[in-house]
Structure 1
Amino acid sequence: MATPSTPAFDFTTSNSSSNSSTDEPFLVRNDTSTIVGAIILSFVFLLGVPGNLFVIWSILARSRKRSITTLLIFNLACADGFLMALTIFFIVYLAKQTWIFSRFLCKTLFYLCNINMYASIMLITLMSLHRLVAVVWPHRVSVLQKKRIMIRILAGLWLLVLLLALPAVIFRQVRTDKMETRWECAPDHTAGSEVFQYTFETVVGFLLPYAVIVSSYVCILRRLKRTKFNRTARSENLIHAIIVIFGLLWLPYHIINIIQVVAALCPQDSDLRKRLDKIWGSSRAVTSSLAFISSSVNPVLYTFAGRSYMKSNGLAFMARLFEGTALDSGTRKARTETMGMKTTESSNSGGAQAVRNGR
């Protein structure tokens, strides 16, 4: 039996076959999961679209200095905002409990969805790595501070996510049941490719980037505590929020991925497989919707982090936040402190040498 598998997101809770029609249960087999998923996506749409548009507007219209950090935040907001605009199609899909759009839109929407979600994850990882280099190794960050080089890195990142999302175009199909009463946009895979796809998705799309993010921020926080930056408390709170929320929103989806992989490896008619199929089948829509929240929550985090700028800067508060927390400022301070430490060491060494010479 072949089951659906696609990178980034899959609202499908049913099993697919190689034919355009099947008697397997569709997503609507669980009304509670469908309703909850539609409600979550509606909330995400209302919060994520204006939120990310405000971030984009703040950078383009209000930001006086666009650092590398601002460039990364801009790309992230564009990726998240574009994904949020696509949620309206999935809300209709869940609300009507049938796919009412064309086969072309089936492939295109899921492809764009996957592109933007992989881009969001990769951009967050790139932001953490850039911050890591700037804070921990400030004398090496000059190369990354060149916008031409960062643009090339971003171009490579976008090319990577274009490739990672290709399975949505290759395998997505519109199919119906034998009664032809309901339609579904679902991937068509063999059992072997199902195991590979979901394992690859969880490792590449969650475990590896999340491990990089956590490791980077652990090193960053150690550096911040050692150098005692002025913005240590705010930076720590924002970093903790990004890490915790990212993990909490993505973890349920990938747990369901693992459950589905284990189910696929079980014997065809075993009781364990039936139980596991029921678990992932009834949870897929909700966990996919929860993962969408990760693209709407960043503007909220920025708002809380920049609330102290609101009174003095009005609608430009977010632009001032990006300028005030730019890595360039932190890098200069880190360099100054590093140079200061070296100067102190040199002075101490010189003093010791003078004492020895005096003797």
Structure 2
Amino acid sequence: MSLLAGLSWQVSPANDFGEIHNWDELLYFFNHTLPECHMKLREDTKQVTLFVLYLAIFVVGLVENLLVICVNWRCLGRGGLLNLYIFNMAIADLGIILSLPVWMLEVMLDYTWLWGSFSCRFTHYFYFANMYSSIFFLVCLSIDRYVTLTNASPSWQRHEHRMRRAVCAGVWVLSAIIPLPEVVHIQLVESSEPMCLFMAPFETYNTWALVVALFTTVLGFMLPFPLLVIFNVLTACRLRREGWPEGRRHCLLVCAYVAVFAICWLPYHVTLLLLTLHGTHVSLHCYLVRLLYFFYDIIDCFSMFHCVANPILYNFLSPRFRNQLLSTVVHYLPKVRARGDRRASSSSSSSTQHSIIITKEGAQPAARQLPHPSLPLRLS
């Protein structure tokens, strides 16, 4: 976010920088030497669109991820093979969701930052750390799902839970380290209006910007996406080959996993690289540059759609998760009813158990368990 805000000043000729000695002079220089591309782009319309998108993602993502965390928290100790990755991914997605109100206000204030220098760095750090965590847990889930399907050795089964906990801890540590090269150069710039921007050393700004952009693209897309594709395709092929009853459904889910990841992240990284390389390594047409800068914030906002899509793809489409969600609701619902009407406790308890009581005249009551379909491998 702040990286592109800083890069937006690089559209003027670099060979005129010799007469500039500090960032204040640079701000003035860029504000008066932008290329003349007369395009009617409505900033007010963009701000309203961004606010609506941020608000929709915030509301829906908050509800979804809280439900996923609640349900998987109750099921972590009960044999859910891959619940740990899904649980941690939901926490990371929730962290991204919780940072959205700041971006909403920043957009509506025309990118004026009113919350001080510490929050300028911390908010970006918090967002990027959770962004990488969410992507890495998604990759770990895809790899572990295939390994669990193909590896039946007693050694793996004995140590799989310990290995998963170690992997999750490693992902959080790695995700906490990766954003540091960018965050250390994020500063609160006090110009006419305070702005939170990526401000690397003046003499090496282009190099730093390129390194950070490549770093983000490689770790955030170029490495995770092939791994996601390979292991999901291998899992789908293995299920089809072994004749699983829902093999076709799982193949469709695999296509959805890959497509959603590509749709959310590919436009963001392509735009980031083009704008970073512009002016130093490639030359883009003036109108294209204007369009990329104008739509970058919308593309960046759209990349957060994965916080809404992940709970649906990896939780709500699973019959097993839906039964667990119903079980969680049923677990807490009788307590509320009991407080309101203690006299109806006998009837309410019979209606909220996980069984159906069938009685006939002259026959003993019989209990039949509600169906709780689950596969030995959680695939969705």
**TM-score normalized by the length of structure 2:** 0.73
Alignment of 1:61-76 (within 5 A): 61=74, 65-76=78-89
The structure, 1 or 2, with the larger RCO (C-alpha pairs under 8 Å, 6+ apart) is: 1
Number of the residue aligned with 1:355 = none
Alignment of 1:1-359 (within 5 A): 5=3, 14-15=8-9, 19=23, 22-23=27-28, 24=30, 30-61=43-74, 65-97=78-110, 98-139=112-153, 142=156, 146-177=160-191, 180=192, 182-189=193-200, 190-266=205-281, 272=284, 274-302=286-314, 304-306=316-318, 314=326, 316=328, 324-325=374-375, 327=377
Question: Structure 1: which 5+ runs fail to align?
Answer: 331-359
The 3 A distance-change label for structure 1 pair 294 and 42 is: same
SS in structure 1 at match of 2:304 = helix
Deviations 1:174-200 (A, max 9, x none): 1244xx1x3321111300111121122
Q: Which whole-Å CA distance do the structure 1 matches of 2:59 and 2:50 have between them?
A: 14
The 3 A distance-change label for structure 1 pair 157 and 326 is: farther
Asked if the contact 2:68/2:87 (under 8 Å) is kept, the reply is: yes
Asked if the contact 1:253/1:284 (under 8 Å) is kept, the reply is: yes
Measured after TM superposition, the shift of residue 142 of structure 1 is: 1.6
Q: Which whole-Å CA distance do the structure 2 matches of 1:229 and 1:305 have between them?
A: 18
The 3 A distance-change label for structure 1 pair 53 and 309 is: closer
The 3 A distance-change label for structure 1 pair 308 and 69 is: closer
Asked if the contact 1:59/1:70 (under 8 Å) is kept, the reply is: yes
In proportion to residue count, which structure has more helix?
1
**TM-score normalized by the length of structure 1:** 0.77
Rg bigger for which structure?
2
Measured after TM superposition, the shift of residue 301 of structure 1 is: 2.6
- For 2:289, the aligned partner's letter is D
Asked if the contact 1:264/1:273 (under 8 Å) is kept, the reply is: no
SS in structure 2 at match of 1:146 = helix
- For 2:177, the aligned partner's letter is L
- For 1:242, the aligned partner's letter is Y
The 3 A distance-change label for structure 1 pair 226 and 56 is: same
Q: Which whole-Å CA distance do the structure 2 matches of 1:171 and 1:322 have between them?
A: 52
The 3 A distance-change label for structure 1 pair 302 and 221 is: closer
Aligned residues: 314
Measured after TM superposition, the shift of residue 62 of structure 1 is: 5.7
Asked if the contact 2:319/2:373 (under 8 Å) is kept, the reply is: no
Q: Which whole-Å CA distance do the structure 1 matches of 2:132 and 2:209 have between them?
A: 19
Measured after TM superposition, the shift of residue 4 of structure 1 is: 5.6
- RMSD (Å) for aligned C-alpha atoms: 3.4
Measured after TM superposition, the shift of residue 38 of structure 1 is: 2.1
Query: What percentage of aligned pairs have identical amino acids?
Result: 22
Q: Which whole-Å CA distance do the structure 2 matches of 1:286 and 1:163 have between them?
A: 27
Asked if the contact 1:59/1:66 (under 8 Å) is kept, the reply is: no
Q: Which whole-Å CA distance do the structure 2 matches of 1:133 and 1:322 have between them?
A: 25
